[in-house]
Structure 1
Amino acid sequence: MPKIKIPPVLRNATSGEREVNVEGTNVREVLEALASRHPATREQLFNPEGELNRYVNVYLNDEDVRVLQGLDTPVASDDTVVILPAMAGGAR
C-alpha cells in the first residue's frame, strides 16, 4: 500500500498523522484517498478544477511528479509519496 508523508503544515488536517497508508494506482488516486480520509486536506491539495494547487509539490520516491506524468504517474504498493508545500516569504 503506498505511503504518503504528511508535512507539518497539514498535520492538523490529518489528526497529527505523519504518514498515511492509502490505496491507489496513481498519484491522483493516492491523494484522493487521503482527501477522502481527511477531508480538510482537499482544498489544501487541489484547486477547484481538481488539479494540484500551484504551491503544492508532490514527489514520488524523490521525483517531482510534474516532471513525470503529473497526477497520472503510476504508484506501486511500496512507493512513497511526499507532499511538500512551497515556502515563500522573506525580507526585502
Structure 2
Amino acid sequence: MAVSVRIPTILRSYTGGASEVTAEGGTLAEVLDHLDAAYPGIRGRVVDEAGDLRRFVNVYVGNDDVRFLDNLTTATPDGAQISVIPAVAGG
C-alpha cells in the first residue's frame, strides 16, 4: 500500500531535501521500515532505541495522532497521508 509521508525540515537531510516522499506499508511500523530502507537513518529519528515513538515527535495518519490510535501498529491504508511533526518548545 503506497502512502505519502510529509517530512519536516529537520529530517529533510535524510531525504535529499524532499518535503514529501512515498513509502509502502500496511502499518506505521512497516512504513517507517520502508522509509529507512530508502533513506537510511530516518527511522532512528522517529523511533527510540526501545522501538517506541520518540517523546518529542508527533506522527499523524490523516488527521489522527497515532498515540491515540495504535501507535506503530496504526493502519496506513493505501493513499494515506502521514505527517511527522517534531514538537517545538520554547518560551
TM over 0.5: yes
By percentage of residues, which structure has more strand? 2
Report deviation, 1:40.
2.6
> How far apart, CA to CA, are the structure 1 residues paired with 2:22 and 2:82?
10
- How does 1:12-91 map onto structure 2 within 5 Å? 12-90=13-91
Report deviation, 1:41.
1.2
> How far apart, CA to CA, are the structure 2 residues paired with 1:30 and 1:81?
9
- How big is each residue's C-alpha offset from its partner over 1:2-37, in whole Å with a ceiling of 9 and x where there is no partner? 110001111111110111111100111111211221
Q: Normalization by structure 1: what TM-score?
A: 0.91
> How far apart, CA to CA, are the structure 2 residues paired with 1:16 and 1:84?
16
Q: Normalization by structure 2: what TM-score?
A: 0.92
Q: Greater Rg, structure 1 or structure 2? A: 1
> How far apart, CA to CA, are the structure 2 residues paired with 1:32 and 1:2?
13
> How far apart, CA to CA, are the structure 1 residues paired with 2:55 and 2:37?
21
Structure 1: give runs of 5+ residues left out of the alignment: none
- Runs of 4 or more, structure 1, over 3 Å off, are none
> How far apart, CA to CA, are the structure 1 residues paired with 2:48 and 2:21?
22
